Chains A and B, each alone.
Chain A
Amino acid sequence: MDNNGQLKRILIATVISFAFFVAYDYFVLTPQQKAASKTIEQNHTMEISSNMNNSVNKTSSNTAKKTVTIATVSAKNFQIKIDSLGRISSFKLKQTKFNTENGKHLELVNDKLPKPLEIRFENRKLNTLAFSIPVKADKNEIVINDKPKTIVLTQDLNSEEIITKKVTFYPDGHYDVKVTLSKPVIYYITPGYRPKVAVDKLTIHGLVVKKSDGTLSIIEDGDAVNETIDNALVTAGFDRYYTTLLYSKTSYSVVIVPDKEENPVAFIKTDSNKEFIGYIGPKFVDTLKSIDPQLIDVVQYGVGTFFAKNLFFLLDWFYKLAGNWGIAIILLVVLVRLVLFPLTYKGMVSMYKLKELAPKMKEIQQKYKKDPQKLQMHMMKLYKEYGANPLGGCMPLLLQIPIFYGIYKLLLYSIELKGASFLWIKDLSVMDPYFILPVLMGVSMYVHQKLTPTNFQDPMQEKVFKFLPLIFTVMMATFPAGLVLYWTVNNILSIAQQWLINRIMASKAHK
């Protein structure tokens, strides 16, 4: 009766969890993605309604006016357009690997306002002027080869205020911007609305602000409220893979304004000449680090960021060693097994002792056949008497969970791992389209089970245990290939280890 109950519960749990994932994907994720792409189209003409200040609010209607491109910046990897309001109105990545599904260059600047480097004034009159008087650029085309080049954008607001933006573009896509005012006045400058390239329900997107004391404020889309963050250094809007950010070495205040969907829009508030470093582009950790180590925190992994971040450095180190992310994952498994080796070695030693105990164990097993609780207790007593304990313990098992979760997060968020190929797998961050890896995982799991001596008190539990490889194969089929790779290699190493132990045991028994 009890056995049947156990079996039923396990089967029910497996079926329910599997059904949940399939249903969740079908009913929630897919429609949401469709809806998201629809709203983006609808919002095309919509402006942000900011209620932060009257003056800022005012601009909404003004900005609806058509602007023209006054300057273009082109480099090997990107093309930038600057419009007549002195904003970056377009930032396209030229590398084909970033191309959209219909083969166009990827656009990183969101249709929604504000655009990167947009300036607004607290003074209402100035603000109206700023959105009606066109900005003049000293050059209308620059081509960057290997040296950074500078463009100066000047806006003369009826001589009441002359504002200059000296923007220096670097070949890696980041830029320096120096804002100079003819006389001090309160103004707002923004890194722009976050990119909308990779926005889904599975990953977080929104705004991250890093303060000078190192703390982070992460405001996810849909959670924004009016607030001001002081002593900020980095302000970055981000989606799954891309970011647009402004960073300054001296701290500033950021005003956060929710838009209609309660997504955060950030404005840096200041009243003096100020220098920023900006970056629009993919969140490559190396690129961000080379601009400034402070920017590494722009890469957020959602819940468990701390763990995923450190795991990334480890995996990245392996990648640089091996040159392939698949091999890097394999090396990670090897490392984990090496760390656990002292434990497994201890286990091997106690296995020897256990051989002598076999008859006594049989006796106990016979005696407490019907009471697994009691059986477990008496086995423990026996182990203690002989100083041997063959069980692996809970810790090594639990240790795998954070690693597994960390890899999952990396495969979800790291643009470095997007499109990482390994043998027949084109992209480790999505499922294996040929289902080879999940099947390999199931087979390796089955072999490992065959090799591992198990002592089930319960025949039903044993039956379920035998079905596990099949259940896992089905469950893991839709998981990112990188994750299944980790598990498969882990199984194979376990098999090798177990095979070795069994051989040593056998040779020992012969003597």
Chain B
Amino acid sequence: MKNLKTSLKEWPIKLIKFYQSFISPMLGNNCRYYPSCSEYTKIEFENDNFLRAFFKSTLRILTCNQLFKGGIDYPVVKKKIKTNFFIKKPVIKYWLIPVNKKDEYIIIKAEKWTITDN
């Protein structure tokens, strides 16, 4: 069961990764949002359950046109956090920022911090 669940989410992620590296550069920058629709979809599928991720990503793409404002829109994901006190080396992939609702977080992709940044 778990296998099916993970593979159900793996395929969209693989597809998006393929799109991002090979197709997207051909089309140029079009997205009205930040993070871009494909990035948003990838984060959603990596962090939320399949149906919710699918629904939210579809909504995001449908509103990505001139009739909507666009702009900065981070994915907000429902997630139960399991604390593990025995992690050796934390590899930070995402920053989860709690919002007012329980178990819901804004997800921001972690990046390498540089000192020159201000």
Contacts and interface: CB of A to CB of B under 8 A. Distances in A.
B65 interface: yes
Contact of B30 (A342, A346, A374, A393): A393
Interface string A427-441: 000000000000000
A389 B69 contact: yes
A395 B32 CA distance: 10
Interface residues of B: mostly helix, strand, loop or mixed? loop
Contacts of B65: 343, 392-396
Interface stretch (B18-26, B78-86, B92-100): B18-26
Contact of B66 (A343, A387, A456, A464): A343
B61 A394 contact: yes
A380 B72 contact: yes
Contacts of A376: 29, 34, 36
A343 B67 contact: yes
A460 B21 CA distance: 14
B72 A381 contact: yes
B72 to A, nearest CB: 5
B64 interface: yes
Nearest to B18: A13
A60 interface: no
Contacts of A345: 66
B70 A383 contact: yes
Contacts of B29: 376, 391, 454-456
Contacts of B36: 376, 394
Interface in A263-322: none
Contacts of A380: 33-34, 70-72
A384 interface: yes
Interface in A363-408: 373-374, 376-377, 380-381, 383-384, 387, 389, 391-398
A342 B67 contact: yes
Contacts of B27: 397
Nearest to A346: B66
Contacts of B71: 380-381, 383-384, 389
A394 B27 CA distance: 10
A249 B68 CA distance: 50
Contact of B64 (A342, A383, A394): A394
Contacts of A398: 61
A394 B37 contact: yes
Contacts of B67: 342-343, 346
Interface in B27-71: 27-34, 36-38, 61-71
A123 interface: no
A380 B32 CA distance: 8
A492 interface: no
Contacts of A346: 66-67
A384 B34 CA distance: 11
A384 B72 contact: yes
Contacts of A468: 26
B64 A393 contact: yes
Contact of B62 (A384, A395, A454, A461): A395
Given A343-B66, A377-B72, A465-B28, 15 more contacts: A9-B22, A10-B26, A381-B72, A391-B31, A393-B31, A393-B68, A394-B31, A394-B36, A394-B37, A394-B38, A395-B65, A454-B28, A461-B25, A465-B25, A465-B26
Interface of A: 6, 9-10, 13, 342-347, 350, 373-374, 376-377, 380-381, 383-384, 387, 389, 391-398, 454-456, 461, 464-465, 468
Interface of B: 21-22, 25-34, 36-38, 61-72, 111, 117
